[in-house]
Amino acid sequence: MATQHHTRNSLFKLTASFCEKTTQPGRYGDGGNLFLLVKPDGRKTWMFRFRDRVTGNRHDMGLGRYGKYDVTLKEARQSAGEARALLRQYQNPIIERQSLLRSAQQAHANRITFRICRDRFIDGRVGTKVTPWSPSSNAACSFPALRFPVAFTTMLSQ
């Protein structure tokens, strides 16, 4: 059986069993600027090191905690590959990740809950001949459901 020789620039040097078993503190390279960091207390994290092609500055981007239920070797390699793809397009992966987070936070802030729908409906019905209920009388019986986003229930019904 041929042995696999790793050169300085080769990818995929680490194995899943090595990542799981190693406890010696240090920085272990997988290639492609992906590193497993083992801290003295035994915690393990993934780091992607890169140089911004626009500014020339070096950055270390955390990819998450290592573990079977956190970020596996396969997932870390995938994240590092996505970061390298952004770098090829002259984009900073850290800035792109922050932008995604801000978008998600904005979407969460703009979600429409049942309470908002109910209040808009009732506000539209006030002054007409038919006012089916008032917010105060309906609040007691439907309060738990009012905090759910409307999109949540449409996903459940599909």
Whether the pTM exceeds 0.85: the reply is no
**Could you tell me how far CA 29 lies from the centroid of its own chain?**
23
pLDDT given for residue 11 in this prediction: 77
For 15-44, the pLDDT digits (tens) are 999 999 999 999 999 999 999 999 999 999
The one-letter code for the residue type at 154 is: T
In order, the DSSP letters of 15-55 are: -HHHHHH--S-EEEEEETTEEEEE-TTS-EEEEEEEE-TTT
Return the DSSP state at 72: -
Fold of 16-107: Double Stranded RNA Binding Domain (3.30.160)
Structure token pair of residue 134: 């008032």
Where in the chain is CATH 3.30.160.390?
A: 16-107
For 61-98, the pLDDT digits (tens) are 999 999 888 999 999 999 999 999 999 999 999 999 99
Looking at the chain, the number of H-run helices and the number of E-run strands are: 6, 4
Spatial distance between the Cα atoms of 54 and 86, rounded to a whole number of angstroms: 12
Q: What are phi and psi for residue 106, nearest 5 degrees?
A: -65, -40
**Cα distances (Å, whole numbers) of residue 16 to 39, 62, 124:** 18, 19, 60
Return the DSSP state at 57: -
